Structure 1
């Protein structure tokens, strides 16, 4: 998965569930709280799927429901981060 997408998912989750939950979840997959992905960086799918599983567990929801909420909210984050694509 490209870094741009992963960064957006993490930012979406921070907006939805707060820094405390997401920082705890990031630490669980051995990523720092302030991890930065480059736009073209390839992030291992297994790491992101593990992170999503941990976040889902931490917020008491299913992985499928978490992906649904992320998807519903991602467009707003993309529009904020990459406004040139939405003009």
Structure 2
């Protein structure tokens, strides 16, 4: 199981679901997918399987979110090594 905690988001995934989610996030180039919000900040919208829930990230937040995903993978590898 993967747990991803980033600011006020807490997401949990099975291994396969996490790999699929990571693939979606890393396939989205910010510049091609961002749009201006009413506060005049460019943000990217990340849709979820629930049509009522979407995440919106400015560039820095999106990069930090991707870093949190990579750190989650790294920590899972550490835990696997410790279990051996």
Measured against the shorter chain, the TM-score band is 0.3 to 0.5
More strand by share: 2
TM-score by length of 2: 0.34
